[in-house]
């Protein structure tokens, strides 16, 4: 087990009053860049707290897209493993960050580069929130980039709901200590049904936005591209979605279905009709079509006219659908391109 910052703190200062940790936690999300900057702490504490790492992630490499609207960082975490996280300019003249929740992923979706790595381990809460803290520091160090982090998407490496507790704690910390509200955070999931059920009754789960990676409303096709899918996944998801929207839906709180456009696989008019039927049975759902970003030779992206025709079918059936902008594909930072090659043993 990796010791958390809080556990480390308790071992160093077992007798401090509880509010002290709250103060420190606030400091971690402030404009401070190191423990020394937390001047409100006592001298004794500042002298001793330095053995707790200020950051649980360290920068290994940064890549910037040609138009500099996408920055990808390779961050090293404990155990000599690397994760990727992305900073993207958004329409609000601010930045969206894309964070990872696991090193690798066990879901093995055929079109996703992270899936090819297998699962190495879950990230800790510290490692998840430190991706946000890392980008905060990065923007501070690059004032020319202007703008704050306004949105967070859990769409980096990993399946967030397969690391439920750490993701939940990270969400609650971010909501508590930053000005980013619940509608500006999206957790994207392949659709881990037991965890989706848990969300409905877990009073500590914050109701941020959820996006489910559907990719096909035809059972056979979904199983072909998302190997963790199963025969009655779609009716079960539909049933869950209705209950979720009944409890938590309102004009501002919808559910999103993501749909990666794979040429000749899930992009036909029949598939569009199946999707529209599935969505219309549920209610306040938006569809987000994602142009497939190349990760190997198995799949190709649907052509623009096919995507347009697919959208037309959805719109003719009154489904609200958008196409996601592809960003950072020149630095392999686009959806599904996050993967870290394992170092060879002699390096
Ligand atoms: N495990 C989560 C997060 C994955 S990344 C999930 O499954 O939702 C966010 C989105 O990018 C998902 O919808 C995922 O299916 C999609 N994606 C994965 N690989 C992709 C690729 N090569 N091109 C486009 N989208 C991809």
Task: Kindly state the tokens that stand for 78.
Answer: 């404990």
Task: Report which protein residue has its CA nearest ligand 1's atom 7.
Answer: 190
Instruction: Give the Å distance between the CA of 162 and the centre of ligand 1.
Output: 15
Looking at the CA of residue 259, tell me the nearest atom of ligand 1: 13
**pLDDT at residue 346, rounded to an integer:** 41
Is there a domain that residue 266 lies in?
A: yes
Q: If you ran DSSP here, which 8-state letter would residue 341 be given?
A: P
Residues within a 6 A CB radius of ligand 1: 109, 111-112, 155, 159, 188-190, 213, 258, 260, 290, 292-293, 295, 335-336
Instruction: Give the Å distance between the CA of 159 and the centre of ligand 1.
Output: 10
**pLDDT at residue 334, rounded to an integer:** 82
Residues belonging to the active site: 84, 335
CATH classification at residue 158: 3.20.20.70
Question: Per-residue DSSP letters for 244-272?
Answer: HHHHH-BTTB-EEEEEEEBTTTT-SHHHH
**pLDDT at residue 344, rounded to an integer:** 41
Region 63-86: what's the mean pLDDT?
96
Is there a domain that residue 23 lies in?
A: no
Region 116-124: what's the mean pLDDT?
96
Q: What percent of the chain has pLDDT over 90?
A: 84
Is there a domain that residue 39 lies in?
A: no
Is there a domain that residue 312 lies in?
A: yes
Is there a domain that residue 187 lies in?
A: yes
**What is the 3-state secondary structure of 84-144?**
EEEEEECCCCCEEEECCCEEECCCCCCCCCHHHHCEEEECCHHHHHHHHHHHHHHHHHCHH
Region 285-308: what's the mean pLDDT?
93
Region 264-281: what's the mean pLDDT?
98
Lowest mean pLDDT among 95-99, 187-191, 206-210, 339-343: 339-343
Instruction: Give the Å distance between the CA of 336 and the centre of ligand 1.
Output: 5
Instruction: Give the Å distance between the CA of 7 and the centre of ligand 1.
Output: 34
pLDDT over 50 (residue 345): no
**pLDDT at residue 341, rounded to an integer:** 61
The whole-angstrom separation of Cα 296 and Cα 298 is 6
Region 100-117: what's the mean pLDDT?
95
Region 71-86: what's the mean pLDDT?
97
The whole-angstrom separation of Cα 135 and Cα 116 is 27
Is there a domain that residue 344 lies in?
A: no
Looking at the CA of residue 188, tell me the nearest atom of ligand 1: 8
**pLDDT at residue 199, rounded to an integer:** 97
Task: Report which protein residue has its CA nearest ligand 1's atom 2.
Answer: 189
The pLDDT confidence band at residue 251, using thresholds 50, 70 and 90, is low
Instruction: Give the Å distance between the CA of 151 and the centre of ligand 1.
Output: 18
Site to probe by mutation for ligand 1, drawn from 111, 119, 224, 226 as the one with most ligand atoms within 8 Å of Cβ, is 111
Each residue of 165-185: pLDDT tens digit? 999 999 999 999 999 999 999
Contact of 84 with 70, CB cutoff 8 Å: no
pLDDT over 80 (residue 107): yes
Region 37-56: what's the mean pLDDT?
92
Region 23-50: what's the mean pLDDT?
92
Region 2-15: what's the mean pLDDT?
96
pLDDT over 70 (residue 343): no
Instruction: Give the Å distance between the CA of 326 and the centre of ligand 1.
Output: 12
Exposed / middle / buried, residue 63 (Cβ in 10 Å: 0-12, 13-18, 19+): middle
Task: Report which protein residue has its CA nearest ligand 1's atom 18.
Answer: 336
pLDDT over 80 (residue 252): no
Is there a domain that residue 14 lies in?
A: no
Looking at the CA of residue 154, tell me the nearest atom of ligand 1: 3
Region 315-343: what's the mean pLDDT?
85
Contact of 276 with 285, CB cutoff 8 Å: no
Instruction: Name the β-bridge partners of 73.
Output: 62, 85
Task: Report which protein residue has its CA nearest ligand 1's atom 5.
Answer: 155
Higher pLDDT, 294 or 313: 313
Range of the domain at 155: 55-331
Is there a domain that residue 49 lies in?
A: no
**pLDDT at residue 333, rounded to an integer:** 85
Site to probe by mutation for ligand 1, drawn from 188, 229, 296 as the one with most ligand atoms within 8 Å of Cβ, is 188
**What is the gyration radius of the CA atoms in the chain, in angstroms?**
21
**pLDDT at residue 275, rounded to an integer:** 98
Looking at the CA of residue 156, tell me the nearest atom of ligand 1: 5
Task: Please state, rounded to an integer, the average pLDDT across all residues of the chain.
Answer: 94
Q: If you ran DSSP here, which 8-state letter would residue 325 be given?
A: P
Quote the number of domains for the chain.
Answer: 1
The pLDDT confidence band at residue 337, using thresholds 50, 70 and 90, is confident
Looking at the CA of residue 336, tell me the nearest atom of ligand 1: 19
């Amino acid at each position: 087990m990796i010791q958390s910052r809080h556990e480390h703190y308790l071992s160093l200062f077992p007798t401090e009053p509880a509010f002290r940790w709250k103060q420190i936690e606030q400091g971690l999300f402030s404009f401070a860049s190191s423990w020394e900057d937390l001047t409100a702490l006592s001298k004794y504490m500042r002298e001793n707290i330095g053995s707790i790492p200020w950051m649980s992630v360290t920068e290994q490499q940064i890549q910037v897209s040609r138009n500099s609207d996408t920055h990808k960082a390779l961050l090293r975490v404990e155990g000599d493993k690397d994760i990727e996280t992305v900073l993207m300019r958004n329409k609000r003249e601010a930045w969206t960050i894309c964070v990872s929740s696991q090193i690798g992923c066990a879901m093995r979706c055929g079109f996703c580069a992270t899936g090819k790595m297998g699962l190495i381990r879950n990230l800790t809460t510290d490692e998840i929130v430190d991706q946000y803290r890392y980008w905060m520091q990065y923007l501070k160090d690059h004032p020319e980039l202007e703008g704050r982090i306004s949105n967070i998407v859990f769409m980096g490496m990993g399946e967030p709901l397969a690391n439920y507790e750490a993701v939940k704690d990270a969400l609650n910390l971010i909501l508590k200590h930053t000005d980013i509200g619940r509608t500006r955070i999206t957790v994207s999931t392949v659709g881990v049904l037991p965890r989706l059920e848990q969300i409905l009754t877990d009073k500590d789960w914050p109701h941020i936005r959820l996006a489910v990676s559907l990719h096909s409303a035809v059972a056979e096709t979904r199983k072909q591209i998302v190997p963790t899918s199963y025969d009655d996944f779609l009716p079960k998801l539909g049933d869950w979605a209705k209950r979720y929207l009944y409890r938590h839906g309102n004009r501002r709180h919808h559910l999103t279905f993501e749909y990666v456009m794979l040429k000749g696989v899930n992009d036909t008019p029949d598939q569009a009709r199946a999707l529209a039927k599935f969505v219309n049975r549920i209610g306040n759902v938006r569809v987000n079509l994602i142009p497939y970003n190349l990760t190997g030779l198995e799949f190709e992206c649907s052509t623009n006219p096919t995507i347009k025709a697919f959208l037309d079918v959805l719109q003719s059936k009154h489904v609200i659908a958008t196409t996601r902008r592809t960003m950072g594909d020149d630095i392999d930072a686009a959806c599904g391109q996050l993967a870290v090659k394992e170092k060879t043993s002699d390096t």
